[in-house]
Structure 1
């Protein structure tokens, strides 16, 4: 039965749809996890609200004790009389009325002493500069009607505990400042009452003032900035209405959803066994249905690799069969068109490169020059013979048919011969330095690539009236590229002059190959992998740089 391709695909989709069980399991897990997290957050909000209320009530008790003490006429009278025993007895009464208070102290400025009453009884301290500074800070931060306590270390405690303080001035009826009353609640007491009793193993709770930790399980983290965790946790934050602090709980999501993950994994395991059984059937069904498509795909890959002789087999007259027939017909047409196009393009490129590269081919010239050279030697003119030898080598390399690419060493040898001729011509008014890395010597470059740049530097870059002109030629391998640089210290060029040079308006006088010719050959051989750049400023010389791929094969980029 010849089924349509659409019917075959539909049958395959129906068979494979059993894998939806896995998706449903994941959706169930995600929704369940979200519900669990919402319930957990709601429960945490209720617990934290209760904790916040307990904390506020504790602080309000401490605040009330402080306000009652500074307005207690009997205590004020004892302070005026400087009766230490009475002051300590009355302070102890306030502390005993509220067991949440850790300590209550009275600072007597006239005598520079601090009376402190806590569970250890009365302790009298001589006020040092540190204690005085702490007391003054407490008084400043507790000024006004602010109900938030001041969080600070107890300077009079050996263990330097952290306390929540309320501090007020005790003022006589006449306006005289008699003393400073301070009530403190220990941070550890707050933690065990408000946080520890409600904490679970996988939850951390903090009391924060902004990002500063006031109370937490880790005492070493107190009075430091909290580091907020990433998205892998649940954060619940409740503001305390009275004291303006925040109580925060942080729990790992993975711990909260652990039971759900176990259920999810069991479901996925069962679904995995079922799908494994169906996979065998699906495999054979899909294999049968997709065989024509696979063969068509294989044919397409071979065509993309350059094999235009391949043809896709045609099994049936369904949609895939019709597609294969159309593909075969298209490839046959493309094969014919490409053959015509390649032939025309190759002929065109060969003609372009031959016209660009072989500008001088009269072999008889260097044969005649050889005769002149030997005559110069017989006549006792070795310098003339050396110059003729350099010129002959230059002509031989230019006119030879050894290929479009030569090694950097050969190219540089030709440039050196060219430099000798030009130095003779211009009476040694310039010097040329050559710097070539050893690993660059065997790299292949297009013939006559460097000489036009050197010629341009000699003819247009230097001042022939001076005797100290310098030209530097360097070739090196840098980051996978071959860098060729020709630098002169001449008069330089403006951007407009550089553009004219690149456009071919300035030609080489020796070979007829100008800068635009170099750019064209780089484009033909390397495409976008090579480039020619000029860097110049008027009066600061010119640097020409060629960047092209490193190649140790003369045929790699030959067209």
Structure 2
């Protein structure tokens, strides 16, 4: 993706997709959690109602049992049978038990065990009593009664049918004379408490006694299958006590557990989570539809926003491309007031500044070439050449050829230095050599001595300076400063390097200059018409400014004791610097 537009479009779409997907997932998860929480709360409430109803029924059964075990008529009949051993007495006991049996529909039958006689009397229609009960069965019943309170899961001592739930209460009459059992059939418990809970969502449902033995279940499982389920239940709810109501959840199943406080019977059931969340199918489709619509709207908005954002970028990119091809007159169109608009405005201002700098550079180069041409391609003034050649002529006649040769050599070197076109810069030592030749010729012309002192620091002698930058200043000092006729003229020339700056000072003991004269001299644009060259002080000023800009400085200080000219410029040893 090289295009900014495509990057912006993809970025917006990614943000929209991630946001919409995240919101959809959050809402879906939240909805699923809410449905599951509501189902758990509803199921717990139903389980609590069932277990409370069961416990209430167990209490009523127990109250009837206690009342029957304390019935004096039953105790009297037990005593009578123990003494007389007549079946008529057993039949009368059956009638008493049936009267208590009719008081509570939860009680399927009463069993009265006369342990010493190994006789069992029942309220059932047939058989009414059984005379021979195995003593070990009676002892097992007594043992369980002693070790456990509440209802027990017992086998029917008469028919031997499937176990039933029973409360057992001893009958005391100067000692334990028997045991009375109030029996509750498994089918009664199933139809009244378990069957109504069977539906498509519940996978397992069981009613257990206080020892976690299965009383009844909602299906036909037996043996190992039931044992496995009980072990799972015990593992998940091992810390739950009487009166507790707990829930356990794993990845696939929700487990419910409720234990009654009085009877200590437990209701256990498990539910498939997927079944509970089956109603979310329509909700999934609803959320999927919302997600698709959101993505379509996001795509449209993303395309519009990408185009809106990319338009000023495209405009600026096109402008930059035209500028890179040399069309500096091209300007970016400002089409927005945001950061891109500011960028386009600043870019246009930058182009304006570049055009201005190019024009200034062209003009500066033109002025520089003009100044160099003026400095390097000057002409020797005819008046100076005439006087000099006449002086040389008279010297040749009067003083001989040796001195004449020296003068001619100095003059030739001076002409070569002034007329030569090789390079715009000379070293300070080379410029000083030109000054020495020039002063020698001036001394010859005026037939006097001009004392010239050179204090050139070794570090400064190799510094490069513009050609003939010192000669016009020395010439100005000789012609307009010192009085040649008096023969006491003095010119001091010094050069030192201070840090990265070359400092040159030319000092004379002439008549000096006024401030107005200095100002006129430095600001004048009039070319010279006299002297050795047509290069004047204004040209020196212009060349310093062109070569060095603000890094150079030309200063005049003058009074009645003389004039001092100070030149400051960067210390350079290579023309590239």
Larger radius of gyration: 2
Instruction: Give the alignment's TM-score, normalised by structure 1.
Output: 0.44
- Report the TM-score when normalising by structure 2: 0.43
